[in-house]
Amino acid sequence: MAMNIKEMLQNLGIQNSNPSYSTGNIWGDTHGSQIDSFSPVDGQKIASVAAASDEDYKTVLQQAVAAAAYWKAVPAPRRGDIVRQFGDALRKHKTDLGTLVSYEMGKSLQEGLGEVQEMIDICDFAVGQSRQLYGLTMHSERPSHRMYEQWHPLGIVGIISAFNFPVAVWSWNTALALVCGNVCIWKPSSKTPLCAIACQHILAAVLKANELPEGISSLLIGNAIGDKMNNDPRINLISFTGSTRVGRIVSTAVASRFGKSILELGGNNAIIISKDADLDMSVIGAVFGAVGTAGQRCTSTRRLIIHEDIYDTFRERLVAAYEQLRIGNPLDENHHVGPLIDKDAVESYLKAIEKAKQEGASFLVEGGLLEGDSYTSGCYVKPCVAEVENHFSIVQEETFAPILYLIKYKTLDEAITLQNAVPQGLSSAIMTLNLREAEQFLSAAGSDCGIANVNIGTSGAEIGGAFGGEKETGGGRESGSDAWKGYMRRQTNTINYSNTLPLAQGIKFNI
């Protein structure tokens, strides 16, 4: 594997053991500290990355400010063409980049390749969007006046992303921000720096080929970078993906300087399994939602709220499905579940299991750490299932691991109340063939989440829809629909083409 990984890194432009951060199109040494990237797949050190220093940060911001002045004047369709070229470059590097995502983060190879496909898809979406940055026209109450609104770039967009989707979430933000006329500065998770370097290298090559300024897209790696970005008034928008705890810090810092933020925070997602559900579909949706990416998605299924009439039957089928799961090297497509990101995540998983037992949970499928020659990294755990009450404090929390909680209900009103009775509000789903149940779930009196699905699980959102959630999930929206508006500022314009100056609301001002 070592030779294959080395070749893969070289194909992505990472050709030495100490790849550094990028300022736009320039790759060079820095004076910052060193960050080591270890694979949770086998525990091996992949490479060391130079973290950005204070001087590096200063340089990047200076370049971004200069680039922003240039980029906002470039016609939006031309900006879209650059994003199109980036999407084409991703197509060429899909296999290598998807493999790197799988190896550095630990998700299955299929999911790694799927994440790169999401990047390609959002580029395609953004290219079309570059010709559709529409404003509205309004009728003025004053004669011979015309009113309309238009959208302008914000300037500099800061993107702070998490380890679990080390490339896709950045692309959601970057593709839209670029076509909207902004420049981007990316602070990735220090747990997956090589994925970020590879992406930046691919985009930097496109920018260089088009003779565009440095600083249109920049990368800063390091644990201290986020605080600098959050408090920097030159960065007009911070898009943050991560925990609710850190999101509060980000939100407070950015708001204190009247900056804008897009917050994509925690999820505690439930699927309601109706007595009128297709049980075959429901089992598939529940299992994938709970164990995909080893439960490390913000949209992972954490809770199953199951009707009492089918509870025993569904529980039996679910346990049987869990017994068939194959856990191991995610680069092997025969495995369903890979490792957690690191040993800290394992510790959090084990503590959650212990806390659930202390609160009265009954485990149908026991969890635990996997050991042996196939699990040398110490990051492989068993997906587990427990019967609980929704009010348990551990159930109210988001544990980034494959722990699934089962809860019984009698009526749909009760199920919806249970679904909504957590602090988070990201994704939700109901499995039912009953049209009335589906419509009630989607109504204003139904799910309080930003995403509500019928007969599909809680994970696997498409880029065409706006992605995000309510309550402690932060209220941000990324990706499709009109999420592009979050990266622009609205301006209302009134044009008087008469030879007088009538005032609004019929006011008279004679001088």
**259 shares its domain with 366:** no
Is 264 annotated in the active site?
yes
Give the model confidence (pLDDT) of 297-350 as tens digits. Answer: 999 999 999 999 999 999 999 999 999 999 999 999 999 999 999 999 999 999
**316 shares its domain with 220:** no
- Alpha-carbon distance of 98 to 29, in angstroms, equals 26
**199 shares its domain with 316:** no
405 falls within a domain: yes
**225 shares its domain with 364:** no
504 falls within a domain: no
CB 9 within 8 A of CB 37: no
503 falls within a domain: no
- Alpha-carbon distance of 23 to 60, in angstroms, equals 6
What pLDDT is attached to residue 509? Answer: 78
479 falls within a domain: yes
Which two tokens mark 303?
């809770």
321 falls within a domain: yes
Identify the CATH number of the domain in which residue 369 sits. Answer: 3.40.309.10
Mean predicted confidence (pLDDT) in 459-474: 94
Residue 355, pLDDT above cutoff 80: yes
**256 shares its domain with 353:** no
Reported as a pLDDT band with limits 50, 70 and 90, residue 23 is very low
What pLDDT is attached to residue 82? Answer: 98
Supply the DSSP symbol for 381. B
**460 shares its domain with 481:** no
Identify the CATH number of the domain in which residue 119 sits. Answer: 3.40.605.10
**216 shares its domain with 304:** no
Residue 12, pLDDT above cutoff 60: yes
What pLDDT is attached to residue 9? Answer: 85
162 falls within a domain: yes
**261 shares its domain with 276:** no
What angle is formed at CA 452 by the lines to CA 340 and CA 399, rounded to 5 degrees?
25
Instruction: Report the domain count for the chain.
Output: 2
What pLDDT is attached to residue 168? Answer: 97
**68 shares its domain with 213:** yes
From the list 111, 264, 398, 437, the catalytic residue is: 264
Give the model confidence (pLDDT) of 411-465 as tens digits. Answer: 999 999 999 999 999 999 999 999 999 999 999 999 999 999 999 999 988 999 9
What pLDDT is attached to residue 31? Answer: 56
**159 shares its domain with 284:** no
**357 shares its domain with 241:** no
Reported as a pLDDT band with limits 50, 70 and 90, residue 279 is very high
311 falls within a domain: yes
Residue 145, pLDDT above cutoff 60: yes
- In this prediction the pTM is 0.95
Give the model confidence (pLDDT) of 179-237 as tens digits. Answer: 999 999 999 999 999 999 999 999 999 999 999 998 999 999 999 999 999 999 999 99
Of 240, 197, 255, whose CA–CA distance to 221 is shortest?
A: 197
500 falls within a domain: no
What pLDDT is attached to residue 189? Answer: 97
**Residue range of the domain that includes 299:** 269-466
**176 shares its domain with 228:** yes
